[in-house]
Structure 1
């Protein structure tokens, strides 16, 4: 600790100040000249988390106006049901667009419930404004926006953000308005894209083959959410397209989330043997045993995380035990129904890398907490 009267170096102060909430940064900047210099340095603002809630209401925009051009990666949270929080988020995004040439990453997080019948047009228009100005944008994460995303946004990114590295559009809404054609154009315009999160209806065989092109940069992550009526109607992607993609990008991992909207016939079309599934989340209204047995047979070398929401049954226990015996690389297993004692024993015996699991032997009050593996 510094002695009284001894000043810490500016880089040390900046390292401390970058972890402070905005209100405390403002207070630190008013202590003395040295603290003001450190609190306003670009190192403090390079990666910034902002919550548009009560702690910064009324002081956010005036305080931030001088530092927006220092923000390279922004995580912005707001509550759409609170008018002030929503207006602040919208105003901040529009102000950021004026300094957007330096922006590299944007992640939006909607907290709480959105108003009924709200299309989120104000926030989405502000996002488009930012994307239209941020030609160096590399990372855009909209998974926590509960609004319908559309082709217009994807095409704007394709035409204006050629440096894009990751894009996540697999959010929780009831309607999918992002078609496979716009995704194909995005892939052709953004050759360095390495991570993509989509709903199943937005993916096509042509898109996978575009990702498998010889001159493509390494592609690392594909997150697919299958939860909408459009996903159930989407044509299945043939296994040969997955084979080509996996050969071109041997390090690729796929995160697959199957929701109740997907009937058994569609599940069979999604689960192809060559898909390198690393995380599988099954929350199906129909059969869960068949997908578990399929995963045990075909995803044994790639599966690292499993989540199952199903009804307790001896057949389910047997499928989980088979999966444990085959998938030795599992790190996490979470099953949200009661299982027999033989199930956790099987995972502990066959999965030496297991870090945590949720495998309850009797009903308990929710939420169920995972158990750390010994």
Structure 2
């Protein structure tokens, strides 16, 4: 215990203050000189979460602006449908563009109602400026943005962020505007990129070949989202290109997310046997049984997570039992439709590494919660 009048060491205060929101840090900095020194030290600001919705008024007092230089990893939440929240996010990103050459990681997350179609232009403009100034940026996660991302942003990232290690563009937009050409330029400009998230239409055979080049740094993770009309029209990525990529990077894990916009003929083009699929998420408007059986036959060695949103049927139950018997390395399986008891028994019996599952035998109120395996 600290005796009355005794001051906690600065490093202990910093450990406490790093968990405070911005307003709390500002209040702490006004208490005394010792607290001010602790509240503004780099240890407090290295990893920072900011919610523009909770901290609109006086979000960043002037005496804390210098602390922006200490931020290495930032997670920024805002509500784009509310103009004050969006303005606060834009102002902060603009300030970061001018103040933080040391920024290493940035994750943007939108909350609240879906915004108007063009309401994100101001945010994207400030993000564009930030990517032009943050030469040390290594991780950029834009999956939480509902806005349409475009070639100009990707090319700015390629030009301004040569040290990039991960980039996630596989967001919930209804329009795919990032072309394969800009992705190829990104791969050439960022040779140490090891994780990438894209819409299917943004990926090409040429990009797969670039990733499989002999002098390429190890590539570890690829997330592909198939959710918009451009994805449905995308040309197939041939099996031999996937096989070459898997040989070059034997540790590569691919996450596939197939949504209702993808018709059946496109599904068969996406599910190539040589893709090292580690996570498969199926939310198709058409046949789901075929893709589940395909995964059972071709992804047994790599599949770790399966998510299925479909209508209950005896055929689907049989396909799930077959997959359970073949995919012994599964860690998670989540099926958002009622299944028969034998499906649950199959996964429990054949998948010894199973950590959680959603396999309901009777209809229950939503949201369905997963069962954790002890």
TM-score, normalisation: structure 1: 0.98
The gaps in structure 2 that reach 5 residues or longer are none
1:270-327 per-residue CA deviation (whole Å, 9 max, x = no partner) reads 0011111111000000110010011011111111111000010000000000010111
Task: Report the Cα distance in structure 2 between the residues aligned to 1:347 and 1:265, rounded to whole angstroms.
Answer: 29
1:211-238 per-residue CA deviation (whole Å, 9 max, x = no partner) reads 0111111111000000111111101100
User: Match of 1:6?
Assistant: 6
CA contact (8 A) 2:40 2:64 kept: no
CA contact (8 A) 1:225 1:256 kept: yes
CA contact (8 A) 1:222 1:253 kept: yes
Task: Report the Cα distance in structure 1 between the residues aligned to 2:57 and 2:166, rounded to whole angstroms.
Answer: 31
Classify the secondary structure of the residue corresponding to 2:225: strand
> What displacement does 1:56 show?
4.2
User: Match of 2:171?
Assistant: 171
5 Å-filtered alignment, 1:236-275, equals 236-275=236-275
User: Match of 1:21?
Assistant: 21
User: Match of 2:44?
Assistant: 44
Task: Report the Cα distance in structure 1 between the residues aligned to 2:177 and 2:59, rounded to whole angstroms.
Answer: 37
1:83-135 per-residue CA deviation (whole Å, 9 max, x = no partner) reads 11111111111111111311111111111123333341000000001011111
The reply to whether residue 191 of structure 1 matches residue 226 of structure 2 is no
User: Match of 2:159?
Assistant: 159
Task: Report the Cα distance in structure 1 between the residues aligned to 2:239 and 2:16, rounded to whole angstroms.
Answer: 51
Classify the secondary structure of the residue corresponding to 2:274: coil
> What displacement does 1:148 show?
0.5
Classify the secondary structure of the residue corresponding to 1:66: helix
CA contact (8 A) 1:57 1:85 kept: no
CA contact (8 A) 2:146 2:171 kept: yes
5 Å-filtered alignment, 1:200-349, equals 200-349=200-349
Aligned residues: 374
Classify the secondary structure of the residue corresponding to 2:37: helix
* Range 20-29 or range 249-258, more displaced: 20-29
> What displacement does 1:2 show?
2.6
1:146-189 per-residue CA deviation (whole Å, 9 max, x = no partner) reads 00000011111111211111100000011111000110110011
Task: Report the Cα distance in structure 1 between the residues aligned to 2:102 and 2:330, rounded to whole angstroms.
Answer: 40
* Range 10-19 or range 291-300, more displaced: 10-19
Task: Report the Cα distance in structure 2 between the residues aligned to 1:250 and 1:17, rounded to whole angstroms.
Answer: 43
Task: Report the Cα distance in structure 1 between the residues aligned to 2:114 and 2:86, rounded to whole angstroms.
Answer: 10
CA contact (8 A) 1:22 1:56 kept: no
Task: Report the Cα distance in structure 1 between the residues aligned to 2:119 and 2:33, rounded to whole angstroms.
Answer: 46
Task: Report the Cα distance in structure 2 between the residues aligned to 1:122 and 1:61, rounded to whole angstroms.
Answer: 22
Cα distance change, pair 63–281 in 1 and its aligned pair in 2 (3 A): farther
Classify the secondary structure of the residue corresponding to 1:173: coil
User: Match of 2:361?
Assistant: 361
TM-score, normalisation: structure 2: 0.98
User: Match of 1:103?
Assistant: 103
Classify the secondary structure of the residue corresponding to 1:167: strand
> What displacement does 1:191 show?
0.1
CA contact (8 A) 2:155 2:182 kept: yes
Classify the secondary structure of the residue corresponding to 1:143: strand
User: Match of 1:74?
Assistant: 74
The gaps in structure 1 that reach 5 residues or longer are none
Classify the secondary structure of the residue corresponding to 1:367: coil
User: Match of 2:143?
Assistant: 143
CA contact (8 A) 1:338 1:362 kept: yes
Task: Report the Cα distance in structure 2 between the residues aligned to 1:3 and 1:236, rounded to whole angstroms.
Answer: 70
